[in-house]
Amino acid sequence: MSDSLDDLVAINARLGEIDSALFNLSTDAVAERTALETERASLKERAAAFAVDLDTGRPTDDLVAEVASLRERLAEIDASRIDFVSQAGGGDSSLGDGLGTGTINQAIEHAQGADELNDRIRHLTSILSDRGVDS
């Protein structure tokens, strides 16, 4: 990898600046928002490369423990889902998702980072698989 830890520090600092700038932009500053979001995505990709490199050097036990912890977090997110049958009074599931709970559940999962957790689990289990470890 050609980037150094100093580069990672600079990347993280710039990401913080971008987040602040995005927060302070007016809603009609579409071009500026798009440019900042594009830069942020690029910087996040560069930062992710550090994690990949660092993870491959981590001890197997650490990776297994992290996967277990991430799975516990996903279980907590799953437990926070709204059961639309019980919310509708129970018994009759023919109501479907007329109450909007599917949309709410998706928003809950998104806000709590379920997709990122799943991505991280896939990444770590791939490394573990390469080492011949089931996880």
Helix (H, G, I), strand (E, B) or coil at 111: helix
Q: Give the Cα separation of 116 and 109 in Å (integer).
A: 10
How far apart are alpha carbons 15 and 47 in whole angstroms? Answer: 10
* Residue 93, both tokens: 């599931």
Residue with tokens 């994690």: 51
CA 95 to chain centre: 32
H or E element at residue 72: helix 60-79
The tens-digit pLDDT sequence of the chain (135 residues) is 455 667 888 998 999 999 999 999 998 999 999 999 999 999 988 888 777 778 888 999 999 999 999 999 999 988 887 776 666 555 554 445 555 677 777 877 777 788 889 989 999 999 999 999 998
